[in-house]
Amino acid sequence: MRVDDDAPTILDVPVGLGATGTRRETDSLGAVDVPAEHYWGAQTQRSLEHFNIGHDRMPKEVYHAYGYVKKAVAAVNTDAGRLPRWQGELIQRVCDEVTSGALDAEFPLYVWQTGSGTQSNMNVNEVISNRCIQLVGGDLGSKTPIHPNDHVNMGQSSNDTFPTAMHIAAYTMASTRTLPALERLQRALEKKSDQWSQIVKIGRTHLEDATPLTVGQEWSGYAGALEDARAEVKHTADALRTLAIGGTAVGTGLNAPRGFGEEVAAVLSTLTGEPYQSASNKFTAQGTLDRMVRGHAALKNAAVSLFKIANDMRWLGSGPRTGLRELVLPANEPGSSIMPGKVNPTQAEAMLMVCIQVIGADVSVSTAGAEGNFELNAFRPIIISNYLHSALILGDMCDHFRTFLVEGAELDESKIKENIDRSVMMVTALSPVIGYDKASVISHHAIDHNLTLKQAALANGVSEELYDRVVVPMAMTRPGLADVNGGRVAS
């Protein structure tokens, strides 16, 4: 570290205080006793006492993102000469500890706090201040020589830094956890689709028998749905790289130099390797959280697609004797404490529960997003908490569903062939040849007399030669193609 002539000696002290009891800290309302073993100060302690509601803590990802924000701001202020270099570099050093997670135990606040996120912003400011003070051998709580407001929070407001940290945390979670997991699951579905491209099965519409398709075609539908969902999650996540930083209190940038937001965003881009930019309209960035709302809506949409896929698979794997049993799902664990040998579609059930959670969370996010009043949305904590939770559990669940269900799934080809042989809806191929009414008579005859379609067709005057030429299951999955006999019916 460069050392200024008047800079104090920077000590090499590991994180931790080793103190007991309490120490006295102050804020604008007066003095507060805080635990001596922690770095936080008076405002953090007040929040802990007034908002100790439930077990929902502000996600650590928000604080890690704050570490980047505070470091970028300190770098800009240092380069501009607003902070002595030793102060700016010391703050940046501690910000690295924040981002790394080394100070996670110092961020204890609850989600249910001030809607602006001010208490979490001050929690970060106080911890950085006191850790810096420790590193120069000063007295914790003295705010000297690093003040939480004057130095760590220089040129900032909670109103622009908290949504900035929200966007960074949300984008990071989506891009590193959710999107890669969605892509891995999509690729696994595509692989199964290719593997089973020549296996003909009976389709179902309205939960009733329909015309044939291949298993590969069915699974290509699943993969395509995830491709669409993934594209929307990525689109909305990329939009989170636009940041509120520089708007300070109400979007005007009061107490921040001209171009401050743009400079900080440029440093953030260098620190993270992501193309962050300061919002061109800070009033939109601070008065709304619409980009976060759209981002969570994309997660909800992905959950809707995943729900359909998982639900199909648990029904296709139902049985083993009295269900559909087209799919043979991996036996990951015993399914019953009372019924020996029972195996349940547990990964599908877990996926459904995760999807229900995300879909429900979207109501909270949408309602909170709508509550932006005038120049500030004051429902930020619930939005970022839900976004990060939804993005995390969707990503984790996709990997588990892929690993423990999709990749190990097999087909019961004998059951699939039995369904083909007994299907009545393949009469649809006869309809253009013999007419809809006669085809309808044949289908009802087959159902009423428990016959195969072929038996019913022959009984109603269709020649065997005509039937065998027209009712070709694989051909029905690729109508209009010249070569329709290359595939096989499951046997």
Q: Give the H/E segment covering residue 212.
A: strand 208-214
Q: Give the H/E segment covering residue 417.
A: helix 413-422
For residue 372, the cross-strand partners are 377
| DSSP letters spanning 349-365 | HHHHHHHHHHHHHHHHH
Q: Do 42 and 31 meet the contact criterion of CB atoms below 8 Å apart?
A: yes
Residues 6+ apart with CB under 8 A from 306: 226, 229, 351, 354, 355, 394, 397, 398, 401
Compute the distance between CA of residue 115 and CA of residue 463 in angstroms, rounded to an integer: 76
Compute the distance between CA of residue 18 and CA of residue 431 in angstroms, rounded to an integer: 84
Determine how β-strand 242-243 pairs with β-strand 277-278: parallel
Choose, from 336, 414, 440, 463, the residue flagged as catalytic: 336
Count of C-beta atoms within a 10 Å radius of residue 281: 13
Residues 6+ apart with CB under 8 A from 70: 91, 95, 98, 124, 125, 128, 152
Residues 6+ apart with CB under 8 A from 404: 330, 332, 347
Count of residues for the chain? 491
Tokens of 140: 């914790």
Determine how β-strand 199-205 pairs with β-strand 22-27: unpaired
Write the DSSP symbol of residue 484. -
Comparing CA positions, the residue from 179, 160, 153 lying closest to residue 243 is 160
Q: Residue 206 catalytic? A: yes
Compute the distance between CA of residue 254 and CA of residue 232 in angstroms, rounded to an integer: 36
Choose, from 55, 206, 337, 491, the residue flagged as catalytic: 206
Determine how β-strand 22-27 pairs with β-strand 277-278: unpaired
SS3 of 373, please?
strand
Does the CA dihedral 270-276-279-282 come out positive or negative? negative
Tokens of 189: 């579905």
- Enzyme catalytic residues: 206, 336
